Amino acid sequence: MEAVDSYTNYLKEMEDENDPLKGALGELQSLVDDYEKKLDAAEAAVPIKVIKKRREGKSGSTRWGVEIWELILEQLVNGTPPSSINDNIIAHVKKFSPSTKIEELPSIWTICRARSVLLVIVQTWLGLSDKWP
């Protein structure tokens, strides 16, 4: 009986010792839940999860999204050489969206083709410039 009583007393002491820890565990779990919600919101705020060519619709070839074309054209306007544009895209993504995964980058041929696109855009603006107020 003495052994049972001593184990019962020891068990009560341990339960009394664990009661504050249970409260702290509940508070920590609530903090973890709050931070998980914030993390989910932050992940939802990243519009581009992966940089790669995308397929529009069910069939057809893959193509680069508008955001990549904008990056390429912006850099060409600023005078970046075509051979440096991919490195700049990597630097932008790592700095501003580190969770974004880069699976594929535009080829030099695509970047050179973007120079032609930029030329057409500029010629169009120049052609319309005298018609705008």
Tell me the per-residue pLDDT of 49-64, one tens digit each, with 9 for 90 and over. Answer: 889 998 887 778 899 9
Burial string for 49-62 (b: 16+ CB within 10 Å, else e) reads eebeeeeeeeeeee
Cα end-to-end distance, the chain, whole Å? 102
pLDDT of residue 44: 79
More confident residue, 37 or 47: 37
Give every CB contact of residue 121 below 8 A, 6+ residues apart in sequence.
73
pLDDT of residue 104: 94
Q: Is residue 102 scored above 90 in pLDDT?
A: yes
Query: Amino acid identity, residue 103?
Result: E
How far apart (Å, rounded) are the C-alpha atoms in residues 14 and 84?
A: 65
pLDDT of residue 133: 54
Tell me the per-residue pLDDT of 6-42, one tens digit each, with 9 for 90 and over. Answer: 888 888 888 888 888 888 888 999 999 999 999 888 7
Mean pLDDT of 91-99: 88
